[in-house]
Amino acid sequence: MSERQEQNTGLREVRTAHRIDTGRLETYLISHLEGFRALLSIRQFKGGQSNPTYLLEAQSGRYVLRRKPPGKLLKSAHAVDREFRIISALYATGFPVPRPYLLCEDGDVIGTIFFVMEFIAGRVFWDLDMPDLDRAARSAIYDETNDTIAKLHNLDYSGLGLADYGKPGNYFSRQISRWSGQYRASETGVVDAMNALIRWLPENIPADDSVTIVHGDYRLDNMILHPTEPRVLAVLDWELSTLGHPLADFTYHLMSWQMPKIGIGSVGLLGMPLAELGIPDEEAYIERYCRQTGRSGGIPNRNFYSAFNFFRLAAILQGIAGRVRDGTASSDHAELAVQSVRPLAEIGLKYMDES
């Protein structure tokens, strides 16, 4: 098992900052969650940098609890209520998400709002090259991840009752403004590349204004795969989902092909022998997605999308850096996020210059 896989796989004792009053939680769940009986233990999942996530062992089975982190939070961040809403809507369509059980908006129960969902047993791959698999398995899994995001973007959000889940139109201008503001609120030092991107991006937004449901953080390690089959059982971490531009969502996912090794330990596919590994190259992956979503013209303005996505990821990681500063980060490895902001912004600047 690789270091990254080991760091993020499995459970640990609940971090001191994220401890829960088990008695209050048990009382609440017994009275509000049908069939729930006797909370036996609570442990915290290792992976994840944002919303603390716990495995609840009870006499009635296993459950997953996801909550806002405690402490002072950035405006609109850690929106577990929105996660619950989108999972509920998608579950009803058969899209692969965990079954949602309940949302608790009473912050007095455990200190923050939270929701409870189904526990799904399966595989989570933290290494994009999936070193323990063979070529055929890797190829099938990448086809499945592509098909799954295409399925998401093809859904009729209005028909799912999600017409008010975001503001249709002007997605990039709103996102650039949001992440610029959150970056400034978490800023811990001057990063010239980020300042350049913050100036350039609003002036170079493509004219295409398509709208779909977007996940916001679609990547391999945010999915649970079937234990033996190349099948997505659940897409996780919908905190950043909204109504937005499908190409923003898909090209964020494409960063897997553009990402070098950076501070938080992410290892992208850049420079890997993709054909030998059985992994489609970036062009083939784009072609499959466009074929399934009816985009006959491919993806124009790709340098803008790449610059935007590296800027956005750098801003997200700066938020983690701010939580490190404030002592509320959710991962043992969150401090490494601080090291990643500058190199990510500089990659974004390279795409900006190429554009």
In three-state form (DSSP H/G/I as H, E/B as E, the rest C), the secondary structure along 206-252 is CCCCCCEEECCCCCHHHEEECCCCCCEEEECCCCCCEEECHHHHHHH
On whether both 113 and 162 belong to a single domain, the answer is no
- Whether 159 is covered by a domain: the verdict is yes
On whether both 111 and 140 belong to a single domain, the answer is no
DSSP code at position 329:
-
Q: pLDDT at position 4, please?
A: 75
- Whether 161 is covered by a domain: the verdict is yes
CATH of the domain at 83: 3.30.200.20
On whether both 220 and 325 belong to a single domain, the answer is yes
Select the more confidently predicted residue: 8 or 155. Answer: 155
Lowest mean pLDDT, pick from 26-35, 160-169, 278-287, 316-325: 316-325
pLDDT interval class at 71 (50, 70, 90): low
Token couple for 100: 């949602």
Residues with Cβ within 8 Å of residue 340, at least 6 apart in sequence: 262, 263, 264, 266, 314, 317
Burial of 226 from C-beta contacts in 10 A (0-12 / 13-18 / 19+):
middle
Spatial distance between the Cα atoms of 230 and 138, rounded to a whole number of angstroms: 8
Q: Over range 24-51, report the average pLDDT.
A: 92
Spatial distance between the Cα atoms of 293 and 26, rounded to a whole number of angstroms: 45
Domain boundary among 118, 151, 172: 118
Cβ pair 198, 211 in contact under 8 A: no
Q: What is the extent of the structural domain holding 197?
A: 135-354
- Whether 130 is covered by a domain: the verdict is no
Spatial distance between the Cα atoms of 264 and 209, rounded to a whole number of angstroms: 33
Residues with Cβ within 8 Å of residue 11, at least 6 apart in sequence: 43, 44, 45, 46, 55
On whether both 226 and 336 belong to a single domain, the answer is yes
Residue 293 above 70 pLDDT? Answer: yes
On whether both 204 and 285 belong to a single domain, the answer is yes
Pairing of strands 232-235, 223-225: antiparallel
CATH of the domain at 154: 3.90.1200.10
Beta strand ranges found along 9-123 (DSSP E): 11-12, 39-45, 53-58, 61-67, 100-104, 114-118
pLDDT one-digit tens code per residue, 201-257: 999 999 988 999 999 999 999 999 999 999 999 999 999 899 999 999 999 999 999
Q: pLDDT at position 262, please?
A: 66
On whether both 196 and 333 belong to a single domain, the answer is yes
On whether both 194 and 146 belong to a single domain, the answer is yes
Residue 334 above 80 pLDDT? Answer: no
- Whether 129 is covered by a domain: the verdict is no
How many structural domains compose the chain? 2
Lowest mean pLDDT, pick from 5-14, 205-214, 332-341: 332-341
pLDDT one-digit tens code per residue, 105-154: 999 999 999 999 999 999 999 999 999 999 999 999 999 999 999 999 99
Nearest CA to 56 out of 70, 66, 69, 71 is that of 66
Domain boundary among 118, 147, 175: 118
Q: How high does pLDDT run on average in the chain?
A: 91
Token couple for 215: 């996940």
Nearest CA to 148 out of 3, 344, 285 is that of 285
Residue 69 above 70 pLDDT? Answer: yes
Token couple for 6: 């080991």
On whether both 189 and 296 belong to a single domain, the answer is yes
Residue 191 above 70 pLDDT? Answer: yes
How far out from the chain centre does Cα 53 lie?
13
Residue 265 above 60 pLDDT? Answer: no
- Whether 46 is covered by a domain: the verdict is yes
Q: pLDDT at position 311, please?
A: 97
Q: Which residues is 103 bridged to in the sheet? A: 115
Q: pLDDT at position 317, please?
A: 87
On whether both 205 and 86 belong to a single domain, the answer is no
**pLDDT more than 70, % of the chain:** 90
Q: pLDDT at position 72, please?
A: 56
pLDDT interval class at 338 (50, 70, 90): confident
- Whether 123 is covered by a domain: the verdict is no
On whether both 144 and 242 belong to a single domain, the answer is yes
- Whether 227 is covered by a domain: the verdict is yes
Burial of 34 from C-beta contacts in 10 A (0-12 / 13-18 / 19+):
exposed
On whether both 203 and 313 belong to a single domain, the answer is yes
Residue 51 above 70 pLDDT? Answer: yes
- Whether 284 is covered by a domain: the verdict is yes
pLDDT interval class at 78 (50, 70, 90): low
On whether both 331 and 190 belong to a single domain, the answer is yes
pTM for this model (two decimals): 0.89
Domain boundary among 64, 85, 118: 118
